[in-house]
């Protein structure tokens, strides 16, 4: 749909409108008094979220991110589906699946009774997705922009055969200084260590708070539903309440990792951490024909 058609069908006057963004991507700008946010139909991705009165965005987007129809956008909350990380069937393929590369349909935009704005995106299988992943599906992403930000992803198996997925909400959180950031809630959780320096199949158990002074790339298992990122430099706490997920990925590429990624500035390891609500590693989700499964997260900013 073109912008005029999208605005005619879905705009919420004074609150939500569709505009053209970099690379010709379609952006959804929201300003509802509770918060401002920017979403894009490319990948059904949230790119920016700032509650009223808050100066620093919740989310990081790389200045060198690709904004192109066939590329992933590095930042915001990418939707990783139907595989998280490497495709187990074909490890050389793009990581984190194809959902974040597709242009999603907008199905609804509404104002909720509390003044929050709700946007529903949809994606279904087609010939191009069959070539990548031979299954019939409906996917929905629902984003609620209010005093908190919520993102949920629903998968429906629209075929006659069961399928298995891994998936994730790959949130890139903006931070003030990695040396002053701690993740709370992981104490006692076992993790798979995927850092470049770690031996293959390395595992560990988190003791206390998690800080950042080198590359961190860990898949934590059996995590509690709430995690927190405390950021002394920005004097704020990000609370992440996850649903239907017992696995969390924590990632900061550090210096060498940032340098190796063309869509990150060398210094960007100072500007974000990812704390991701996922079903991955041993948490593989099997979806029976006609069954629906969900994963979701609510993000809340609090002052320290």
Contact present, 66 and 263 (Cβ < 8 Å)? yes
- State the Cα–Cα distance between residues 157 and 196, nearest whole angstrom: 36
Closest to ligand BG6 by CB, 50 vs 100, is 100
- Binding-site ranges for ligand BG6 (CB under 6 A): 72, 74, 78, 95-96, 170, 194, 217, 249, 251, 274, 276
Closest to ligand BG6 by CB, 101 vs 109, is 101
What separation in angstroms does the CA of 124 have from each of 6, 18, 173, 291?
A: 19, 22, 29, 15
Closest to ligand BG6 by CB, 57 vs 276, is 276
Closest to ligand BG6 by CB, 4 vs 92, is 92
Closest to ligand BG6 by CB, 266 vs 302, is 266
Q: Is 110 a catalytic residue?
A: no
As measured in angstroms, the least distance from the Cβ of 248 to ligand BG6 is 10
- Structure tokens belonging to residue 30: 């929201």
> 254 Cβ partners below 8 Å, 6+ apart?
212, 214, 215, 216, 269
Annotate 86-110 with DSSP letters as a single string: S-SS-TTSPTTBSGGGSBPEEEEEE
As measured in angstroms, the least distance from the Cβ of 149 to ligand BG6 is 18
Terminal alpha carbon distance of the chain: 43
Which of 135, 170, 244, 271 does the annotation list as catalytic?
170
As measured in angstroms, the least distance from the Cβ of 61 to ligand BG6 is 11
What separation in angstroms does the CA of 65 have from each of 46, 47, 216, 265?
A: 14, 11, 21, 9
What separation in angstroms does the CA of 174 have from each of 75, 273, 302?
A: 9, 7, 14
What separation in angstroms does the CA of 119 have from each of 33, 57, 80, 223, 247?
A: 16, 20, 19, 28, 26
Closest to ligand BG6 by CB, 139 vs 169, is 169
* Closest to 163 measured CA to CA, from 292, 296, 278: 292
Q: Is 276 a catalytic residue?
A: yes
As measured in angstroms, the least distance from the Cβ of 4 to ligand BG6 is 32
Which of 72, 215, 276, 298 does the annotation list as catalytic?
276
- Structure tokens belonging to residue 262: 């063309």
As measured in angstroms, the least distance from the Cβ of 220 to ligand BG6 is 11
- State the Cα–Cα distance between residues 142 and 290, nearest whole angstrom: 20
As measured in angstroms, the least distance from the Cβ of 170 to ligand BG6 is 5
Q: Which residues are catalytic?
A: 170, 276
């Amino acid at each position: 749909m073109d912008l005029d058609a999208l605005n005619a069908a879905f705009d919420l006057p004074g609150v939500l409108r569709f505009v053209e963004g970099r690379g010709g991507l379609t952006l959804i700008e929201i300003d509802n008094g509770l918060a401002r946010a920017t979403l894009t139909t490319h990948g059904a991705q949230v790119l920016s979220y700032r509650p009223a009165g808050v100066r620093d965005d919740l989310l990081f987007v790389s200045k060198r991110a690709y904004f192109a129809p066939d590329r992933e956008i590095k930042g915001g909350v990418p939707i990783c589906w139907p595989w998280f990380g490497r495709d187990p069937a074909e490890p050389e393929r793009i990581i984190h699946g194809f959902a974040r590369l597709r242009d999603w349909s907008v199905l609804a935009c509404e104002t909720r009774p509390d003044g929050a704005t709700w946007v529903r995106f949809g994606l279904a299988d087609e010939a191009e997705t069959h070539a990548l992943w031979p299954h019939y599906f409906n996917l929905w992403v629902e984003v609620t922009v209010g005093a908190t930000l919520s993102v949920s992803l629903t998968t429906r198996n629209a075929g006659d055969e069961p399928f298995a997925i891994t998936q994730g909400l790959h949130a890139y959180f903006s931070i003030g200084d990695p040396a002053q950031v701690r993740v709370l809630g992981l104490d006692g959780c076992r993790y798979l260590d995927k850092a470049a320096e770690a031996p293959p199949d390395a595992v560990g158990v988190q003791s206390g708070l998690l800080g950042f002074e080198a590359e961190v790339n860990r898949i934590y298992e059996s995590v509690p539903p709430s995690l927190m990122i405390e950021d002394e430099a920005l004097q704020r706490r990000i609370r992440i309440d996850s649903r239907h997920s017992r696995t969390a990925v924590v990632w900061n590429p550090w210096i060498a990792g940032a340098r190796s990624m063309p869509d990150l500035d060398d210094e960007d390891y100072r500007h974000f951490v990812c704390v991701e609500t996922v079903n991955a590693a041993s948490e593989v989700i099997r979806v029976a024909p006609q069954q629906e499964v969900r994963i979701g997260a609510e993000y809340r900013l609090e002052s320290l």
